Amino acid sequence: MKIKNVVIIGAGAMGSGIAQIAVMAGYNVTLVDIKDEYIAKGMSSIEKGLNKLEEKGKLKGTSAAALIGNVNTTTDLAKAAKNADFCLEAVIENMDVKKQVFKTLGENVPKHCILASNTSSMSISEIAVASGREEQVCGVHFFNPAPLMRLVEIIKGEKTSDVTVAVARSWSYSLPCLKGKRYCPIVLKDRPGFIANRVNAPTMILMQWAIDKCAEKGIPFEQLDTDAFNPMSPMGPLVLTDYVGLDIAFHTMQYYVKTLHPDFAPGKVITEYVEKGQLGMKTEKGLFEWPKGKKPILERTKKANLFTVEELYAIQANESCRLLEEGVVKDWTTIDKTMDAGYNAPGPMAFLVDGNREKWPKLLNELADKTGREYLRPCELMKSSAYRELRVVK
Ligand SMILES: NC(=O)c1ccc[n+]([C@@H]2O[C@H](COP(=O)([O-])OP(=O)(O)OC[C@H]3O[C@@H](n4cnc5c(N)ncnc54)[C@H](O)[C@@H]3O)[C@@H](O)[C@H]2O)c1
């Protein structure tokens, strides 16, 4: 199927980034939002991105102005949908709003059109029902910022056809990535967090426990951030949580309480900070101070010794084994590549297989005993080591 006309719904952080790379790939792009001012903001962000690339000489055979000219805009979704070959929804993370968008799309797009959602957490199968054409709906999950992040997860809903997955995947691979080669794994089951976010999710359980311990013992959060700081990364894990927003971490954890396990409950400190509106960078104060949004400067002379990088990797490996048990993915090689593309960090499974098969299950049991969080115990697949067979050898 040849895709020419692409409609992106939602001109926010994600939609504008995806529209930028779609127009760079040569598609006719229509960007849709509910108000002209939101469209103007999205277009200005696309323009900024394209101008920067032009200055660096990275727009071969075209110009920022020509590309901007290929982005149409409208607030009329039904009209935009009429000629669409591929629609990508990137509106706010609200199920009712997403369902309304998919209903309008279902009623207006041509028969062959593929519909995709960029949701980071919601059920693709549920969104798909609203369209009335479930076979043609899948998840296409970009990471922020879409022009720079290599990973795009392609999620199969309960009724998504193989053709839909194949078309969405090849479309995703056709979009340029400004930092390396795109990686677009297929997520075989529509489970919370898909792959990358899910593998990382239970590290938040340990982090919440450790943050509350710090507060209890009067240990500065700077020391806890230093426990797992990688000098190659721009930020440690706590500074990153502040950067993304404590409210986002809080809501994500609540979502995992509902969908995975009660141990994901947000800790006392985060709950208190969110309640009083101390949300991190965007409010200039979170776990750290962010004067005028400026990153905190940490001296890192001392550690809290409440967790280690190895423990975080063991937790990620355990969650990877759960993904294999649930059939979300069939081999661990894909999980490691997904983590590399989504977090710019090596995935946990090669470390488990090569040297930690006996050590990490013990370490996880000790962590569960220490924290009282049962979810951290090793799952059956991890205990059995049977994951070793589940790999792709090239
Ligand atoms: N920001 C991230 O880091 C990130 C990463 C991956 C996926 N996502 C997902 O991508 C989606 C968009 O996130 P975002 O960060 O770009 O949000 P955002 O708040 O920056 O933008 C959302 C846009 O959708 C528009 N919108 C709302 N209702 C609409 C409707 N009915 N029709 C058209 N437009 C509508 C809003 O006006 C807004 O401009 C969400 O599902 C989010 O979970 C976000």
Angle at which helix 309-326 crosses helix 203-217, to 10 degrees, equals 150
Residue 138: give its domain's CATH number: 3.40.50.720
Residue 231's pLDDT is: 80
Establish whether 125 is a catalytic residue: no
Q: How many domains is the chain built from?
A: 2
> How many whole angstroms separate alpha carbon 182 and alpha carbon 280?
31
pLDDT class for 257, splitting at 50, 70, 90?
Answer: very high
> How many whole angstroms separate alpha carbon 162 and alpha carbon 144?
27
**Average of per-residue pLDDT across 277-291:** 96
255 lines ligand 1 (CB under 6 A): no
Probe residue for ligand 1, chosen from 7, 9, 14, 16 as the CB with the greatest number of ligand atoms within 8 Å? 14
> How many whole angstroms separate alpha carbon 193 and alpha carbon 207?
18
Q: Tell whether 272 and 336 lie within a shared domain.
A: yes
**Average of per-residue pLDDT across 140-159:** 96
15 lines ligand 1 (CB under 6 A): yes
**Average of per-residue pLDDT across 108-137:** 96
Last residue of a domain, one of 170, 190, 210: 190
Angle at which helix 332-343 crosses helix 309-326, to 10 degrees, equals 130
Q: Tell whether 211 and 107 lie within a shared domain.
A: no
DSSP string, 202-267: THHHHHHHHHHHHHHHT--HHHHHHHT--TTSSS-HHHHHHHH-HHHHHHHHHHHHHHT-GGG---
93 lines ligand 1 (CB under 6 A): yes
Task: Identify the domain containing residue 75 by its residue range.
Answer: 5-190
Q: How far is the CA of 10 from the centre of ligand 1 (A)?
A: 6
Establish whether 197 is a catalytic residue: yes
Per-residue pLDDT at 393 exceeds 70: no
Residue 258's pLDDT is: 94
Residue 211: give its domain's CATH number: 1.10.1040.50
Q: Tell whether 228 and 377 lie within a shared domain.
A: yes
Predicted TM-score (pTM) of this structure:
0.94
Output the CA angle 238-243-244, nearest 5 degrees: 100
Per-residue pLDDT at 323 exceeds 80: yes
Q: Tell whether 125 and 149 lie within a shared domain.
A: yes
Q: Tell whether 115 and 230 lie within a shared domain.
A: no
Establish whether 275 is a catalytic residue: no
